[in-house]
Homo-oligomer: A and B are copies of this chain.
Amino acid sequence: MSDTTAYLLTLACPDAPGIVAAVANGIAGLGGNILSNAQFSEPSIERFCMRMRYEAPTQEPDAMAATLRDGLPVDDDIELVVHEADYRTPTLLMVSKYDHCLRDLLYRWHAGELPVDIRMVVSNHWDLQEVAANYHVPFVHIPVNRDTKATAEAKLMELVDEHDIELVVLARYMQILSDDLCRQLEGRIINIHHSFLPGFKGARPYHQAWERGVKVIGATAHYVTADLDEGPIIDQDVERVTHAHTPDDLAVIGRDVERIVLSRAVRAHAERRIFRFADRTVVFS
């Protein structure tokens, strides 16, 4: 008797009758059994997406994907991927001087909460080298100024290619990326913005929030696009505040929200729960 492995299938394609039956039959044909399934169809653009866990006799994921794709009742614009369920997404973290998101991601990865493989930490400063070292993760210093931005980004992309990085996380990285880099990494680069977007775009959002006298502050994790602070939102959360909090207090409170929201977004991405439809995301729970 052959061994059995758990797999994770993600599918995005034009909506049409019979897709679920086709996939379910395909998996039955592979000798498999569906463990869980989530699906959604966005009416405004008639696009279907599905995330399915199944177990089957151990086979090559790409071969299974090809078999399943052939059985679909649609022909074009199909994104169908199969991974082993315990696949860990190769990930690179970018930071500057703030350490709370970095520490949180490293801790959760270390504790087994995040199915990622953190291959390195890149920073434009040296400050957080020790934090990376404590978790035995390589730390690469790539300084950036106006004149060296293009070189620095080229160096980053070299690292991404060399280490097969599939996810870049801006864990409070304080440099604006070029449009070109955003496009190259589209769909695989996540940022944490320290405000409840679309409120308080731009710089110093906690000061903006204080000035406006808001009673709730928040943070937003989103995919990075060339349009700053406008990329598709992955997750958001908030915390209540009062008149007695100073802008510095808001920043302290905000750190807790930032690290929780960013870690949820990274987990959702690494667990392949997110689908992008134009400017919006589907995030299966």
Residues of B contacting A215 in the complex (Cβ-Cβ under 8 angstroms) = 233-236, 283
Contacts of A197 in B (CB 8 A): 199, 212, 214
* Of the residues B216, B279, B281, contact of A236 by C-beta under 8 Å: B216
Write out the residue numbers on chain B whose beta carbons fall within 8 Å of the beta carbon of A200. Answer: 198
Interface size on A, residues (CB 8 A): 61
- Complex Cα–Cα for A253 and B282 (A): 19
| Cross-chain contact B256 with A233 (CB below 8 angstroms) | no
Closest Cβ of chain B: how far from A61's Cβ, in Å? Answer: 19
Tell me the A172-219 residues at the B interface (CB within 8 Å).
Answer: 196-200, 211-216, 218
**Complex A-B: 16 CB contacts under 8 Å:** A17-B34, A18-B28, A24-B25, A25-B25, A100-B111, A111-B252, A130-B134, A196-B196, A197-B214, A198-B199, A198-B200, A213-B280, A214-B236, A215-B233, A215-B235, A242-B285
Given contacts A103-B107, A236-B215, contact A243 B280 (CB under 8 A): yes
Name the residue of chain B whose CB is nearest to the CB of A35: B41
Contact of A285 among B21, B41, B285 (CB under 8 A): B285
Chain B residues near A233: list those with CB within 8 A. 212-215
Does A72 touch B at the CB level, under 8 Å? Answer: no
Interface secondary structure of A, over-half rule: mixed
Q: In the complex, what's the smallest C-beta–C-beta distance from A239 to chain B, in angstroms? A: 10
CA distance A89 to B242 in the complex (A): 24
CB pair A17 B32 closer than 8 Å? yes
Return A56 CB to nearest CB of chain B, in Å.
Answer: 10
Determine if A58 is an interface residue (Cβ-Cβ < 8 Å): no
